[in-house]
């Protein structure tokens, strides 16, 4: 049974562009995979603590030597990593916040990047351990950061996600970006604005 992991990270819920587009992706994916399973991970509904020295200590202690407290500290990270391991495909929504990913998405990334679990440096080079996964990243930005525009170098969302997931072994990654959402704050019709982006998301979801 194919499994899709659906991750959202916008605080705006009903007004969020990335949430609307990841939902459209999920609807299309379910239609193409009637026997599929979708796991939803809403990062605004998940309390993810920042990294602490204790957590780092626990992660770098060999599994068989961990204390009960260290195992407890790693439980959330273990759960989030298991969701990635058990899914075949990912759809991950990200707004741009201050040119980067929102803080809840960064907190999640800090929990899922674990040496020996999702990547290894065993032979001195980084090797991703999430193998054979397909990821679709759906990004919404207030401004426009297309390549060749003056603002392109300010976009730390796509290059960052591409690098992090590349480290984890997820090389099959598609990025669908909706730029210029600021127009929605000044009277632009939402349905008309979103129509081509919904079409692109649905068309892509049909191919996988």
Ligand X SMILES: Cc1cc2nc3c(=O)[nH]c(=O)nc-3n(C[C@H](O)[C@H](O)[C@H](O)COP(=O)(O)O)c2cc1C
Contact set with ligand X (CB under 6 A) = 10, 12, 16-19, 95-99, 140-143, 181
Greatest Cα pair distance in the chain: 59
Q: Tell which residue, 178, 167, 91, 179, has the closest CA to residue 131.
A: 167
Which tokens belong to 17? 């562009």
Minimum Å distance from CB 201 to ligand X? Answer: 13
Taking the least distance from each CB to ligand X, the nearer of 12 and 82 is 12
The residue (of 15 and 71) whose beta carbon lies closer to ligand X is: 15
Strand ranges (DSSP E) for 114-159?
Answer: 119-120, 127-128, 134-140
98 vs 125 by CB, closer to ligand X:
98
Say whether 85 sits in a helix, a strand or coil. Answer: helix
Distance from C-alpha of 42 to C-alpha of 158, rounded to nearest angstrom: 20
- Quote the least distance from Cβ 109 to ligand X, whole Å: 17
C-beta separation of 2 from 89 below 8 A:
yes
**DSSP tag of 115:** B
Residues 89/61, Cβ–Cβ less than 8 Å: no
- CB-wise, 67 or 188, nearer to ligand X? 188
Minimum Å distance from CB 60 to ligand X? 33
Q: How far is the CB of 67 from ligand X (least distance, A)?
A: 39
Q: For ligand X, give the closer residue by CB, 33 or 97.
A: 97
Shortest CB 94 distance to ligand X, Å: 8
Q: What length does the chain have? A: 208
């Amino acid at each position: 049974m194919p499994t899709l992991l659906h991750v959202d990270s916008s605080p705006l819920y009903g007004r969020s562009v990335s949430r609307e587009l990841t939902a459209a992706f999920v609807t299309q994916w379910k239609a193409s995979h009637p026997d599929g399973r979708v796991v939803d991970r809403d990062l605004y509904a998940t309390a993810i603590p920042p990294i602490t020295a204790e957590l780092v200590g626990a992660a770098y202690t060999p599994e068989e030597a961990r204390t009960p407290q260290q195992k407890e500290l790693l439980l959330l990270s273990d759960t989030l990593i298991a969701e990635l391991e058990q899914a075949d495909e990912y759809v991950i929504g990200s707004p741009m916040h201050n040119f980067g990913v929102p803080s809840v998405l960064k907190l999640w990334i800090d929990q899922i990047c674990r040496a020996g679990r999702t990547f290894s440096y065993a032979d001195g080079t980084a090797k991703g351990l999430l193998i054979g996964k397909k990821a679709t990243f759906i990004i919404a930005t207030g401004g426009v950061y297309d390549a060749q525009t003056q603002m392109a170098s300010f976009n730390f969302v796509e290059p960052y996600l591409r690098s992090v997931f590349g480290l984890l072994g997820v090389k099959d990654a598609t990025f669908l970006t909706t730029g210029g959402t600021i127009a929605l704050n000044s009277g632009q019709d939402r349905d008309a604005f979103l129509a081509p982006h919904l079409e692109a998301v649905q068309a892509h979801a049909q191919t996988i």
